[in-house]
Each structure stands twice: as structure tokens, then as C-alpha cells.
Amino acid sequence: MKPTTKLLCALSAIFLIWLVYDSQGTPETNGEPVAQARPPAWQAQETQRHSVADSQILFGDFHVHTTFSMDAHGWSMPVLGGEGLHPPSEACDYARFCSGLDFWSFNDHAEGLTPWHWQEIKDTVRACNAVSGAPENPDMVTYLGWEWTQMGNTRDSHYGHKNVIIKDTAEADVPTRPISSGLVAWEAMRNNPLGPVETFLSPYMDFKNRDAQQSLRLKQKNLLAVEVCDTEVHVNDLPTECLEYAETPNELFRKLDEGGWQSLVIPHGNTWGFYTPPGASWDKQLSKAQHDPKRQTLVEAFSGHGNSEEYRDWRAVSFDEAGNEVCPAPSEGYLPCCHRAGEIIQDRCEQPDSAECVAKVEKAKGDYLAAGRAGHLTIPNTAPEDWLACGQCTDCYLPALSTRPALSTQYALALRNFEETDENGEPLAFRWGFIASSDNHAAQPGTGYKEIGRHKSTEAAGATNALTQKSFVEAAKAKGGDPTVSVPFDINKTKYNFLQVNEMERQGSYFYTGGLVAVHSDGRDRDSIWKALENNQVYGTSGERILLWFDAQQDKVTHTMGSQIRTQTPPLFSVRALGSFQQLPGCPEHSVKALGEARLDYMCGGECYNPSDSRNQIERIEIIRIRPQAHPNEDIGDLIDDVWKSFSCDTAAQQWGDGCQVSFSDPEYSGEREFIYYARAIQQAQPVINGGQLRCTLNDEGQCIDVDPCYGGPHLTAREDDCLAPATERAWSSPIYLIPPRPTL
């Protein structure tokens, strides 16, 4: 070997060794929240703004991740357009000084938390509460919690995500460890959301920020080093340092019962097709085993990942008489993606009507269905634009990507289990209160205060250039020799990472700024807020601080939203709504003083919750009526009246601060079957990030013939483009349930 060759080999070896050992990554820290509460005068003004008579409304966010979550850590990497790590203390400062919340919770994915992470989160919760002022009247309440991120690759094994909120904070009153899920999320988080090759390469694809990105590899290494708990051992008898998991809701509820903690379990993101298998529904969870009516009393109907409220009759998959999956035909406003897969293949055939092409079309439909949520990977050489708006709810309000309607909130309320009964001997039912939250992954509770900065205030993320796009996002795209032949994809045996398998590119058009949970509370303290949550005196908003009341009066008794009334006769319902305060540019003076302009710009994008004295106008109030199943054969779609009643609002009256007020009754209610009612308060339309989703071009028949997706990757859609389109911000009340009286014995 020549000396020069030897030298090159030696230098190459040194370089490779240096790449491996260059940086082991900087360990994460939780940081320290700013030791400063908001000024009492500002807080008193906010209380006055959101109070009418003796009714006080507080706003919060019960769905917040920091980069302690494995997926959030991965998305924070600069190669995916992130800004670096966002630790727990940053979430505390953001909630107080950027979004101006009254309460919020930590909900990092349990699947990616080591015992060290969990202790740091608990310490941050206490530190954040310690700087909030007197416990009986704090400027903000911070709750401890986590996300149970259950996912299955089949509809039978899938139960979905749930947030666990813990009331107390003292060490003796909280879990020793969070309870994670099993199956897909367990493997994805433990093996990190990128995969080994991408994780190794990513630091050197963005050399300047390599140390921050190496910390992801360090995090994974530390996580895998922790022993997994014995699932058969009682929660209180487990060692402190082990990773605990529960594969089903039943196991989760059992473990929470064993621990004895005061907790709420809140299902969320239920219709989100990004991770949910086609054909999944609420049916299997409405059972004594899989539903806990003591803890699972609330549902998240809206988040930054979309709307889970509305039901539709169409499905992504149908079944023949033998129970085999078949591709449904298109219906008005809905194009199944399996059908679109066949259309793409047919358009490529030289002889579209030939028997050979017809066979290829049917194969494409079957391959798409067999791949589950990864069906888009079965058609070679496709771009997101090729799929048009297939799989999407084109007439839903800010819908989730690839909406799964049988997991909608409306479907759940209409459903009954006639094979099991509750403590009253009646068919099992879900009777939830409604909330909304953000599902933010950058330590930013309450991001919906302004529709500014798509990459700052939503989950929009993507490769920063074509090279990283190919490495991180497109690696799983189907490759075939013949573009007219679909390629089967086995989601259970894939070598690709979680982001590559799912529709990450189209998902960018379905990220929103997120919602808020509102409570009618007697006070600002932890116990008062918790009491309101337990009594379902709650509602959700799409991010605006809309004030909403929904009551029923009967026999001189007022029943608030969330009530269950046993009655033979219909009550008189009343709704009152006031629009949110219009926002001033910039941030309040106390936020600037607390954080400084440079940190405000980094954390909040230079924009904070900063209300003026002028309100947005409520355009209308809608009433939705649901008559739950009285027998198993009743079709769910026939039982949901959306919209049942709609009332236009007088804008002149709102200018005087009276808001929009309506009342109604329902003579059809006779006490023979249950009726459910809830209210939507709709503000006048305004520009909203991703308000147009895929931005379809429609033909004369109203069909989507072209799309202009809002990509997360800035090399595809400019980072400065907020993809604004008109949408009507809104609030959803918790339902009032009218239940027939029990039979007299």
C-alpha cells in the first residue's frame, strides 16, 4: 500500500472514530422557572374580564409536552426545523408570560420518560406552583400528569391516547412513576421516532447543532438501560426505578386504582387518522373492563391536531358479509383513499378499461387496505398532491387528518352497550364533559391566543432541505419497477421509522394552534378548579377565550352544563356567549420585564396573549341534539341532529357587553328515551392557520381536483407562509343529559 493511501486510510479511520465519539450529547435539564408571578392588578383585571356576576371562568391547557417526550425531542432537532430543546421550566414560563393561562398540566409521553425525567417533572411542577403566589389565590395552577400513548396497528388492538391528570403534588400523593402503554408507541418511543441510521446521521447533517442532536441518542441509551417493571406486581410494591406499562385501558385503570391517586383520564386525538387504523371505533371501549366512569369523565373534543367532535356516516374501509375488508365507493364530500389508490393506477394504465388494468386497480385497493394507516406507501412514485383530498372530512370544522368518524365524540355519545349495564341497571354509556387543549410538543401551553407563526405556534415541522427530506421522510415511499403495479406494505414488519410510515407530509396541512379548556370555578385555587372538572362544569374552545354558559331550568332549579337530569318533562334551556377579546400586538409590560425581549422573542415569537378592550362578535349559537341508541339496531347517523337549532346573534347587543343570549325547549322529549344537548358558540370568521387544510381547487361539481398542501418543510412551503384561511373560532359546551326517570317499583 502506498504511503499516501495509508495516510488517507488512517485519516479516514480517525475521522470515523471522531464521528462516533465526537459528542455523546448533553444531558437534558429541567431548568428553573422565572421566580416571578404576574402582577396582582393584571390578574384582577383578567378575573374581571372573564367573570359575570358570581360566575368566574378560568382557561387552561391539559395537553402539553416538553422535549422530555421522545417524539418532541426528535422534532426539536434543527434538521427537522426545530429550535432545540424546550425543557419543563420553559413550559411554566410560557404558560404564565406568553399565553397568560390560569392553569395547565404536564403531559409528556410516559413511554419516553426515565425515572430521572419523571422526578424532574415533579420538581418543576412544585417550582412552578411555588412562584404562583398564595395557594388560595395563585396567579396560575400547574398540575402533574402524563400521556398514555396507546396505539395498535389493527382496529382491534387500538385504544388511542389518553392524558392522565393528577390532582395533588406532594411526593406521597403522586405516582412513583408514570404508566406508559405497550405495543406501537412503546416500541416507537423506546427506539426513538427516527430510527438508528437517521439518529446517527442527523448530527452531521446539521453539523453546527450536532451536540443538541446527539442528546437524542443519549436519551434513548438511558431509556433502554432502565429495567421494565413486572406487570403482575402491585403498583405500590414495584421498585422505584423501573418503567411501568399497561397495554389496555383496563390495565391502566387497575393500576390507577392500586395507587389510589386522585386522577382524571381524558381521551384525546380520537379521530386522528395519522396514527389510528382505519375502521377503529369506540364500540370496544364502551365496556365495564375498558371504561372507568369515575376517572374518564371528560373527553378532548378539539386540539391542535384537529377536531374530534363531528360524526359522518362514511368510512375508510367497509366489510362484506364474510367480514372481509372491502374498499367503499366514494360518497358526497368523501373520497376513500383506497379508491383513490385505484384511480392513480388506472390513470397510469395505457388501456384503462382493459381487464389487466382493472385487475391492477383492484389489487391496488386491496394493498392499500392491507397496509392500514400506511396505505399511501403502496403506490409507487406518488407525491402528496396525487392523493388529492382522499380520506379527509371536507366539510368538518378544522378536521383531523384522515378523520375516523366512529371515534368521534358525537358517535360515542350516541352509542350504547346493551350487553352490559351500569349501577342503575341501564345500558352502559359514555357521559362526558367536553374540553379542548393544544397537544403542543414544544413546552408551549395555550398556543391558540394568536394566529401568528405557523412553525412557532403549531406542530408544523419538516425537513429543512431536500437531502433531509429524502432521508427522514421519503425513505419509505413505495418503489416498484412497474408504476402501474401496487407494492404490498406490511406495517408490522417495517424497517422504517414512525414518521416515515405515517402521512407526515399531508399532516402539515392539518396542524392548528390548538384549543383551551375552560372551567366555571368558584375560585382560582387547585381544589376549586378540580371540583369544576369533576362536576363537568367545563367547556372547550378552539383557542379563543370565548365565555359560554349553558343551563337548564326546571322546577326553579338551575342545572349547569355537564348535568344529568332525570326528568319526564323537558326543561327550559338557556345559552349565553360573549366573544373573546381582540388581541393587541406584542406582549404586556409585565411579560417583557419578567423574560426580557430576547427570551420573549425565542419563546413566544415576540407575541403574547395581550387583550384589548374590544370583543370579537358571536355570529350564531348552534344546538346539537343526540338521541342515544334505544336498541342495538338503531343507526348512529340517524340519532345525531347536527345542527338541530341555530340562532343568529344580534351584534348590536353584544357591543354593550350582554353577549348573545338564547333559550329553547324541546317538546319532542317525553321521558321515554335519553336526549343529549350541547351548544356551540360560533364567532365571526377570521384568518386561521391551516384554515384551508389542503387548499383544494374544486370543479363545478364541488370535487377536489387539485391541492396545494401546506408543508412543514420550509423548502416546500415558505416558513413565513402561515397558510391562513377564514375559519370560525368556537366554543363547545359540555352536554346536558336528559335521562328518563327510573321505573317505580
Q: How many CB atoms lie within 10 A of CB 620?
A: 19
The pLDDT of residue 439: 97
pLDDT tens-digit map of 661-719: 999 999 999 999 999 999 999 999 999 999 999 999 999 988 999 999 999 988 899 99
- Read off the pLDDT of residues 393-451 as tens digits, 9 standing for 90 and up: 999 999 999 999 999 999 999 999 999 999 999 999 999 999 999 999 999 999 999 99
Mark the ranges of the chain whose per-residue pLDDT is less than 50.
none
Question: 481 to each of 341, 381, 487, how far by Cα in Å?
Answer: 17, 10, 10
Give the DSSP letter of residue 631. Answer: S
The single-letter code of the amino acid at 466 is A
Which cell goes with 559? 342545572
Measure the CA–CA gap between 116 and 221, rounded to whole angstroms: 13
Please state, in angstroms and rounded to a whole number, the distance separating the CA atoms of residues 450 and 195.
35
Angle at 661 between CA 660 and CA 666, to 5 degrees: 135
Domains and CATH numbers, the chain: 1-307+431-460+511-545 (3.20.20.140)
* pLDDT for residue 157: 94
At residue 194, the pLDDT reads 54
- In DSSP notation, 219-233 reads HHHHHHTSPBPPTTS
β-partners of residue 164 are: 146, 265
Cell numbers found for residue 594: 419578567
Q: Report the alpha-carbon distance of residue 173 to residue 168 in Å, rounded.
A: 6
Q: What is the three-class DSSP state of 292? A: coil
Which contiguous run of DSSP H or E holds residue 688?
A: strand 686-689
As to burial, measured by CB atoms within 10 angstroms (0-12 exposed, 13-18 middle, 19+ buried), residue 154 is middle
C-alpha triplet 652, 655, 659: angle, nearest 5°: 90
- The pLDDT value recorded for residue 13 is 58
For residues 162 and 190, give the distance between their C-alpha atoms in angstroms, rounded to a whole number. 19
Residue 88 to residues 5, 122, 124, 128, 443, Cα–Cα distance (Å): 51, 10, 7, 10, 7
| Rg of the Cα atoms in the chain | 26
